[in-house]
Structure 1
Amino acid sequence: MGKGRSVKLFLAEGSATGILTAEIINWTGHALAAPRTRLEAALKREELKRTGIYILYSDSFGADLPSVYVGEGDDFSVRLRIHSRDNEKDYWDRFIAVTSKDMNLTKAHVKYLEGRLISLLTDAKKCELQNKTEPTFDKLPEADISDMETFLEELQLVLPVIGVDFFRKPQIRPQPNFPPEEPQTKFYLRNSAKGIIATAVEADGEFVILAGATGSLNVAPSFNDRNRNQRDQALESGRAVKLDDKTFRLQQDIGFTSPSAAAVFLFGTSRNGRTDWLVDGQSITYGQWSDAKVQAAE
């Protein structure tokens, strides 16, 4: 496990659906998130008059991937006002503004961060990227690049906490302090009749099916809209591809909230992942393995 971190959230308007700010202790960054309906109130805040980056995005409730746009500016309150009147950018209903508490971010810094964030979105394939180009800015000194990469690492910790997960890919590599005597456990699932062959690991709080796994395209009535949307999004983004009329294959690792959610994704029907997944190299189910770990911790 990695080191614990504290994230400070502040409901600026006393409402969970209003303006929210997020900070990490010893991080110079400051993130402000809000719905578009609160843009007028947000524009009055001092943070939005600083140099920084901003993210416009849509909430995704259906099969479509969320639309996302990344921008930067010296006083990006001006840019946000322009975007709010731009009919070509009418897709967004939420935004995030990222600035520095010590106001040390320069135009060069935010141009670098903008390019890196767009690269992360392109790599993760969890959204419809609305930026026309992928800017690259490599004119920073080596020390500044190192500082911005550290800034970006902290930002990537904050974003999922405030509900933005489309920058993140599952991290299956052990942390640097991962105990060598506790190798990462792998799980497998096989069903030759349905063409399902998959391997998975637990990582970063998720149950991750590894790239190369195959699943069934058949669906049952128990395969609800949420499950269907998740699979449709994976196919639409290219994270999964159809092999034929009956099967699909994962092109990259995909994380799920539980072993059952992962099994449902592969089978297209209601499943119990605690019994479907087996521990690699052992004759026990995921449920038996998990129960043994809980019992050992008592």
Structure 2
Amino acid sequence: MDGDGSQRYQVMLDNWNIKSYKIPVGLVADSNSLDNIHTAGVYFLFGYDEGQKSVYVGEAEDVYRRLTQHIPEKDGYIWDNAVVFIASDIGVLDKARVKYLENRFYNIIKDANSYKLLNRNEPTKAKLSRPAEDSMEAVIDNIRLIIPVLGYTPFENRISENKFSIENEEIFYIKNKELQAKCRFNLDKYLLKLDKPFTLLKGSRISNKINSSLSKKLKQQRQECTDSNVIKDGIL
């Protein structure tokens, strides 16, 4: 939408009267004039919390206004990108429908257990007529297709490490003067494309030097791990 992969996206499906925007937190203020952004919708706030992928699921009658109310000092967490779903036609989504979607997505993500849910409580599920409920379930199916295209996988089930055979795990050691990293490479995860196949293991020594080339997001994750004592005295 902005001609840059790190900027805003708009996603639409053929013959579907709901559109999606992916909006970086730094561009929320510039998104006031996006089509239908001031209407009812459901949204997801993606980021990292204590080194873990995180997501907040919300709904609003004015999505833009609600996004501007999400600030770290008030919420207690930081997010990087919002993915919002709003109707391109009047009357397709209303308060009851978006509350239904919010509750359903909360429970889908909770059951998948692959992202940390930042919602403090389970959202109230609105009661809909059977036709309206069927319509919203179709919306859910489409949203589950779109979210991964935008780079997020909160609906994919986390597979416990003990389900992978030890024969398919290789341990690697990376050393230099400042660090000593112990990494596990899991072939099963690599072949099944289940997230990153490399895992940095407990006991690894982290370099005290932070290179200027390190991305802002990685610097933030490192600081969160240090603040929460996941990294203590340079040791993971």
Superposition TM-score, scaled by structure 2 size: 0.68
Aligned pairs for 1:110-259 (under 5 A) are 110-169=98-157, 213-216=163-166, 220-221=171-172, 256-258=189-191
CA contact (8 A) 2:18 2:87 kept: yes
Residue identity opposite 2:83 in structure 1: I
SS where residue 118 of structure 1 aligns? Answer: helix
Residue identity opposite 2:13 in structure 1: I
The C-alpha deviation readout for 1:270-297, integer Å capped at 9, x for no partner, is xxxxxxxxxxxxxxxxxxxxxxxxxxxx
CA contact (8 A) 1:72 1:110 kept: yes
Distance (Å, rounded) in 2 between the aligned partners of 1:146 and 1:126? 26
SS where residue 59 of structure 2 aligns? Answer: strand
* Compared CA separation, residues 165 and 260, structure 1 to 2 (3 A): closer
Q: Please report how far the alpha carbon of residue 43 of structure 1 lies from its aligned counterpart in structure 2 after TM superposition.
A: 2.7
SS where residue 171 of structure 2 aligns? Answer: coil
Distance (Å, rounded) in 2 between the aligned partners of 1:17 and 1:143? 39
Q: Please report how far the alpha carbon of residue 257 of structure 1 lies from its aligned counterpart in structure 2 after TM superposition.
A: 4.7
* Compared CA separation, residues 125 and 261, structure 1 to 2 (3 A): closer
Give me the CA root mean square deviation: 3.5
1:18 is aligned to 2:7: yes
Q: What's the counterpart of residue 58 of structure 2?
A: 71
* Count of matched residue pairs: 191
What is the percentage of aligned positions where both structures have the same residue?
Answer: 25
Q: Indicate the larger mover: 83-92 or 214-223.
A: 214-223
* Compared CA separation, residues 116 and 17, structure 1 to 2 (3 A): same
Q: What's the counterpart of residue 75 of structure 2?
A: 88
CA contact (8 A) 1:99 1:105 kept: yes
Q: Please report how far the alpha carbon of residue 85 of structure 1 lies from its aligned counterpart in structure 2 after TM superposition.
A: 6.2
Residue identity opposite 1:99 in structure 2: I
Q: What's the counterpart of residue 95 of structure 2?
A: 107
For residue 97 of structure 1, the aligned residue among 74, 84, 89 is 84
Q: Please report how far the alpha carbon of residue 164 of structure 1 lies from its aligned counterpart in structure 2 after TM superposition.
A: 1.3
The C-alpha deviation readout for 1:238-261, integer Å capped at 9, x for no partner, is xxxxxxxxxxxxxxxxx8452698
Q: What's the counterpart of residue 25 of structure 2?
A: 36
Residue identity opposite 1:152 in structure 2: I
Q: Please report how far the alpha carbon of residue 83 of structure 1 lies from its aligned counterpart in structure 2 after TM superposition.
A: 0.7
For residue 47 of structure 1, the aligned residue among 33, 36, 39 is 36
* Compared CA separation, residues 151 and 91, structure 1 to 2 (3 A): same
* Structure 1: runs of 5 or more not aligned: 1-11, 171-208, 232-254, 269-298
* Compared CA separation, residues 258 and 71, structure 1 to 2 (3 A): same
The C-alpha deviation readout for 1:44-76, integer Å capped at 9, x for no partner, is 32332010011111058xx83212111111112
CA contact (8 A) 2:173 2:181 kept: no
The C-alpha deviation readout for 1:23-62, integer Å capped at 9, x for no partner, is 11112221100211111112332332010011111058xx
Q: Indicate the larger mover: 152-161 or 36-45.
A: 36-45
Query: Which of the two has higher C-alpha Rg?
Result: 1
Q: Please report how far the alpha carbon of residue 94 of structure 1 lies from its aligned counterpart in structure 2 after TM superposition.
A: 1.0
Distance (Å, rounded) in 2 between the aligned partners of 1:259 and 1:50? 39
Distance (Å, rounded) in 1 between the aligned partners of 2:27 and 2:106? 25
Distance (Å, rounded) in 2 between the aligned partners of 1:153 and 1:261? 21
Distance (Å, rounded) in 2 between the aligned partners of 1:20 and 1:256? 29
Residue identity opposite 2:84 in structure 1: A
Q: Please report how far the alpha carbon of residue 227 of structure 1 lies from its aligned counterpart in structure 2 after TM superposition.
A: 6.5
1:57 is aligned to 2:8: no
Distance (Å, rounded) in 2 between the aligned partners of 1:98 and 1:136? 19
